Amino acid sequence: MITILVLPQPLRAQLAAEARAAFPRECCGLIEGERDFERMHAVILHPTANFSADAASFEIDPAAHLRLKRTARAAGREIVGCYHSHPNGRPVPSDHDRAFDGQDGFVWLIVAIGEDAAPAELSAFEGANFRQISVVE
């Protein structure tokens, strides 16, 4: 059971920058990393196009997901989760997020940003029930 997402500072900065660049739409992408018992180590954040027509939701291109899975596997890693932003929202799963079939061991990283320059807020969740996990550097 995953209880901790290790997200280094450079990846946190990348995530905040992507969220601000996409504002007021949601940014999205996939997390490449490694599992270490209860810890998930994020190594690379792969931004993907948001295919959703709705500015308040996200949809990752399935072809990009498959391509990135192969790339990660070739590097000895895996796609361990996804990320997206909640513009002017909170870093918690929305009803739209919860409509997806979460899978055990798959991490959802959510970044909340506003129109102002306030720091981005991060939260991470795991599994079908979107159980909150800790995010550490």
CATH number at residue 52: 3.40.140.10
Q: Which runs of E-coded beta strand occur in 67-130?
A: 78-87, 107-113, 121-126
Arithmetic mean of pLDDT, 95-118: 87
Closest CA to 94 of 82, 85, 105, 107: 85
The count of structural domains within the chain is 1
Q: Give the pLDDT score at 12.
A: 97
Give the strand pairing for 107-113 and 39-48: unpaired
Contact indicator for 50, 85 with CB cutoff of 8 Å = no
How many whole angstroms separate alpha carbon 66 and alpha carbon 59? 14
Query: CB count, 10 Å around CB of 122?
Result: 18
pLDDT at 102 over 80: no
pTM: 0.95
Query: Can you give the residue range of the structural domain that contains 106?
Result: 4-136
Q: Give the pLDDT score at 124.
A: 97
How many whole angstroms separate alpha carbon 2 and alpha carbon 27? 24
Contact indicator for 83, 106 with CB cutoff of 8 Å = no
Local confidence band at 76 (pLDDT 50, 70, 90 cut-offs): very high
Q: Give the pLDDT score at 59.
A: 93
Local confidence band at 128 (pLDDT 50, 70, 90 cut-offs): confident
How many whole angstroms separate alpha carbon 80 and alpha carbon 44? 10
- Per residue in 30-49, pLDDT tens? 999 999 999 999 999 999 99
Q: Give the pLDDT score at 99.
A: 86
How many whole angstroms separate alpha carbon 87 and alpha carbon 113? 5
